[in-house]
Amino acid sequence: MSKIGYILRRLLRMDYGAMLRTARMLHKKTGKATLWLLFDMVRCARKYGAGYVDYKIAEMYRLTPEQRETQITREASNRIVAKMNDKAYWHHFDDKAEFNTLFAGQVRRGWIDLRGATEEALAQWAEGRGDVIGKPMEGSSGNGIVKYKRGELPSLEALRLAGIGLLEDCVRQHEALDALCPTSVNTVRVATLLGDKKQGIVYASLRVGNGNVVDNVDQGGMAAPVALATGVLTAVGADKQGNRYETHPMTGARIPGFGIPYWAETVDMCLRAMHVVPQVRFVAWDVAVTPDGPVLIEGNSFPSHAVPQFAAHYPDGIGILPRFREFIDF
C-alpha cells in the first residue's frame, strides 16, 4: 500500500471525536492551543503516517521534524510488517491452538482447544487442575482473556457463548516478577527480526500489569525498556495515558534497575523461535518467566508499535526507527 493510499484510508476511518478529545487532553497537559494541536496532528498524519494515538504516546508535539522522523508510527509499522511477514503464514501465530502446538517445547503448559471439544472431554481435562486462563482463539491486546478459579469453570456452552476458544493452565511467574505486580503474569515482549542486513532482537520491553489480570498496555498496564545485554530495565514504567512510574503504584517496587530473571535463557529461546516460521520475519514474542525458566505465551505476527515508543523512554526525542534500519532497508 502506498503512503498516500494509506493516509487516505486512515482519514476516511478516523475517529474524529477521539482525535478531538486527545487534543483537548493534550491542551490541558501542555498549554498548547487545541486548534494548534489538531492541525499539528494532521501535519504528522500527512508527513509521518502518525495517528492521534501515535502523536500522544510519542509526544510528537514537543519534537522537531528530525526527531519526528525517528518515530515508529502506525504507517511505518504497517510497512515493516508488510515487508517482512508473508500473510499466508500469519495463521501459525494468530490461531492460539496452532501456535501452542507448533511451539509446544517453549509453551510447556497444558491446554485444550474448545472448538472440537465435548463436555466430557472438558471435564476430563479440567479434573485435578488449578486456576486456568480462558482466551478467544484469535485476538490481541489482552481482549477477552478471563481467569477461572479452580472448581469454577463454566460449562462448555457457556465458555463458547463468552467467546472462549482455548483454555490453558495458569503460568506461575518467578517470585521477582510477582513482587512487581502479583495480579497479572508480567511478560517480556521480545521483538526479533530476520533482517536483510542482520538478524536478532530489535528491542525488548517488560510489560507490567496494574491491577488487571493481564499486563497489556491496552488494558491499563505499563511497559519499561530492557537492556538487551543485561536484562535490566533502563527507564521508568510508562502507560498509554502518559503516566510515568518510578515505582509500581500497587506494590511500591522500583522499576528502573529491575533485573529480569533467566534473561540469557529468554534471549536464547526467542532467537531459536524466530527461525521456526521463517516466512514471518518480524515477531514480537511474549515471554513469561517462571521459577524454572522462560516459556512462550504467544507470538505476534503484527506487533503493536505502541510498546517500544513511549516518550518516557526516549528523553532525547530520538525514537526506535533507527534501530529497525540497522536490520532492514526502510
Structure confidence by residue, pLDDT tens digits, 265-292: 999 999 999 999 999 999 999 999 999 9
Pair 287, 296: CB distance under 8 Å: yes
Instruction: Please give the residue that has the higher pLDDT: either 300 or 18.
Output: 300
Q: Is pTM beyond 0.85 here?
A: yes
Question: Would you call 268 helix, strand, or coil by DSSP?
Answer: helix
Tell me which residue of 200, 119, 217, 220 sits closest to 160, measured CA to CA: 119
Helix (H) or strand (E) holding 10: helix 3-13
Neighbouring CB atoms inside 10 A of 47's CB total 14
Helix (H) or strand (E) holding 19: helix 16-30
Tell me which residue of 248, 239, 204 sits closest to 312, measured CA to CA: 239
pLDDT value, residue 194: 98
Across residues 138-152, what is the average pLDDT? 76
Q: Which three cell numbers stand for residue 223?
A: 511497559
pLDDT category, 155, cuts 50, 70, 90?
A: very high
Ramachandran angles phi, psi of 90, nearest 5°: -60, -30
Tell me which residue of 303, 266, 268 sits closest to 173, measured CA to CA: 266
d(CA 326, CA 47) in angstroms, rounded, equals 23
Q: Which three cell numbers stand for residue 281?
A: 520475519
Question: Would you call 22 helix, strand, or coil by DSSP?
Answer: helix
pLDDT value, residue 307: 87
* 159-209 pLDDT tens trace: 999 899 999 999 999 999 999 999 889 999 999 999 999 999 999 999 998
Upper half-sphere CA count for residue 272 (Cβ side, 13 Å):
11
**pLDDT over 80 at 227, yes or no:** yes
pLDDT value, residue 146: 87
Pair 298, 99: CB distance under 8 Å: yes
**What strands, in cross-sheet order, belong to the sheet with 188-194?**
244-245, 237-238, 222-225, 199-208, 188-194, 282-290, 293-300
Number of residues written out for the chain: 330
pLDDT category, 89, cuts 50, 70, 90?
A: very high
pLDDT value, residue 139: 59
pLDDT value, residue 264: 98
pLDDT category, 151, cuts 50, 70, 90?
A: confident
Pair 93, 283: CB distance under 8 Å: yes
* Maximal CA-CA distance, the chain: 62
* 8-37 pLDDT tens trace: 565 556 677 889 999 999 999 999 999 999
* 301-324 pLDDT tens trace: 999 888 898 999 999 999 999 999
Tell me which residue of 319, 280, 293 sits closest to 76, measured CA to CA: 319
DSSP state of 85: B
Tell me which residue of 188, 180, 171, 172 sits closest to 262, measured CA to CA: 188
* 29-63 pLDDT tens trace: 999 999 999 999 999 999 999 999 999 999 999 99
